[in-house]
Each structure stands twice: as structure tokens, then as C-alpha cells.
Amino acid sequence: MNQDARTLTLAEIAERLGARLKGDGERRVSGLATLRDATPDQVAFLANRAYLKDLPATRAAAVLLAPAHGEACPVACLELDNPYLGYAELSRLFDPLVGRTPSGTHPSAVVADDVRLGDNVAIGPQAVIEAGVTLDDDVVVGAGCVVGADAHIGAGSRLHANVTICHGVVIGQRAILHSGCVIGGDGFGFAHDGGRWHKIAQLGGVVLGDDVEIGSCSSIDRGALGDTVIGDDVKIDSQVQIAHNVQIGDHSALAGCVGIAGSTRVGKHCMLGGGVGLSGHLTIADGVQVTGMSLVTNSILEPGIYSSGTGAMDNAQWRRNAVRFKQLDDIARRLSRLEKVGRGG
């Protein structure tokens, strides 16, 4: 790979992905694009049958696709059983951040005297690293970040600009935290005396596993007593709120605007769609998928796909249905009385 020009031959791509190449292996490409938008120096991909209609007219140098669609491809093709996974790998090869990892500590950064730094650590402008912090090898702390006292960030992790890591937080290896996220802020804990609220000190922490990624402006609150725990390889989208003492199992994924109330446990390999809300103190089994905008108020103890709410419809129809919804309880009682009469009761 020519790192400066960021070009690859199709043969190099095929070798890297383990794909079957049909076409000129010496053809060089410099990026990725959709089937519709790709130019002759780019690779496109087909992972969803909904876009099959765009394949005949593509101008891409090559298309990453499943073997079943190879014959219909008008240009060179790279065949893989899982083309979307191949696209993920290829996207990293063309990532403009590759090879541009900063190094050293910017003169404007504020770093406490007792901070422990591994090899090849980078600390950006105006970052603040408080006392007792450990930054392992190859950690990157972006501009304007704050890392609170006694926090520990594992090797190869990257904090984009303006991330806040509060005191005592533990982050595993190769984590990626996007701008504006806050890890380890106080949980929402208050006691009421009948007239006013009294704050409960949040004495726990937050522990993130390895290979976690957290989107911009998401918040993970510290535990009230024990820790809030996010497992390995968990992927969290932007504007997600995770409350105190929540636990999320390995390899789960949360889409944007998910909200999880305190002390709920989400299993491994779970998927929560955009806007899903989980009430507090619930248990969600391994392998559960909750579709977007669903509200979960009871534990889910079996794997599967779960939904709530209604999809969008014509407003007039929705208003009629809303009126009928209010009548359901009365209709159920009347139906019960009719059934009793029918049984001679």
C-alpha cells in the first residue's frame, strides 16, 4: 500500500480481505463510495439487495459483493460471503487518520506531576490530565479533553476532542471515545423528604472493557455504590444515556438516543434500536433485540426480537385509533359479560 497516496491495487485488496477477484488485479483505487456515486478510481460494495438496482450502471473500478451477484456485475468484482464485513475492513484501509496519529504532549496541556505515561502517548492542546492518572502505551488524548484523578486508560485507546473522563474511571484497551461524551459523571441519585431533594453521593465508578466505542455527546454515569460496567466490544451510538450501576454485556450495540435507567442489566449480544428506553432494575437476557422507539418496562428473559408502540400512519387514522384505544377496557368488560351469557352464566 502506498500510504502517502492511499492507493491499493485490486489484487492487494483481494489478498487483504480474502476475497475472490474477477478482473484486473493491477487496477489501482483510492477510495470507497456507493454503487451510485463511485468513480472509476473507487471501490463500491453491495451488501443489501435493496441496492441491487444500482449495480448495472455503476462506474466503480470494482464492486465488493456476494458470489450470487457476481455474474450481474458490469465491472471487476471482489466476491465475499459477507460483503458488509469486507466493507468494514476496507473502510479502515482508506481511513485518512491511519498513519497520522499524533505524538508527544502539547505545550498548552496541563499534566499533573505524578501522571504515568506509557510509550507513544499523545496529549493534545489544552488537555488536562489530573493527579494519579495512568495512560498506557499508544493512548491519544485529543484537544480539550479532561481526564480526572486516578483514571486509567488502556493501551491504544483514543479520546477525540473535548471528552471528559471523570475521576477513577477505568477504560480498557483500544477504546474510541468521540467528542463531547462524558464518562463517570454523577448518577441521578436523590432522596426526597417530602419537601425537597437531597443529593446522594455517587461513590462507585465506571469500568469500560476492551474495544468499546462511544459516540459523541453520550453519557455513562458512575455507580452509586458499585461500578457501572460496560463489557468488551460494546458499541454505543451518539446521545445515549446510561444511568448508574447499569451493566451491559459483551458485544452489545446501542443505537442513538437510547436511555437506560439505573441498575438495569443488559446481556451479551443485545441490540437496542434508536430511541429505545429501558426502565430501571430490569434484566435483559443475552441475544435480545429491541426495535427502535420501544419502551421496555419489564424484564426480558428470553432471546428474540421485541417491539412496542405503533408505527407512523395517516393522522386521521391515528386519531380514530387513539379514541378506540381508550375504549378497549370497556369493550373487554362487555365482551366478558357476553361470553358468560353465551355459556349460560
Q: Which residues are catalytic?
A: 244
Q: Rounded to whole angstroms, how far apart are CA atoms 235 and 177?
A: 10
The DSSP code for 223 is: P
Q: Rounded to whole angstroms, how far apart are CA atoms 332 and 45?
A: 52
Q: Rounded to whole angstroms, how far apart are CA atoms 219 and 75?
A: 45
Q: Backbone phi, then psi, for 272, in 5-degree steps? A: -115, 120
Q: CB-based burial of residue 226 (10 Å sphere; 0-12 exposed, 13-18 middle, 19+ buried)?
A: middle
Give buried/exposed letters for 295-313 (b at 16+ CB in 10 A, else e).
Answer: ebeeebeeeeeeeeeeeee
- Count the Cβ atoms, other than its own, within 10 Å of residue 209: 21
Q: Which helix (H) or strand (E) holds 144?
A: none
Q: Rounded to whole angstroms, how far apart are CA atoms 172 and 186?
A: 21
Give buried/exposed letters for 248-276 (b at 16+ CB in 10 A, else e).
Answer: bbbbbbbbbbbbbbbbbbbbbbbbbbebb
Q: Rounded to whole angstroms, how far apart are CA atoms 66 and 19?
A: 10
Q: Rounded to whole angstroms, how far apart are CA atoms 116 and 132?
A: 7
Cell numbers given for 99:
498513519
Q: Rounded to whole angstroms, how far apart are CA atoms 213 and 235?
A: 5
Q: Backbone phi, then psi, for 2, in 5-degree steps? A: -85, 100
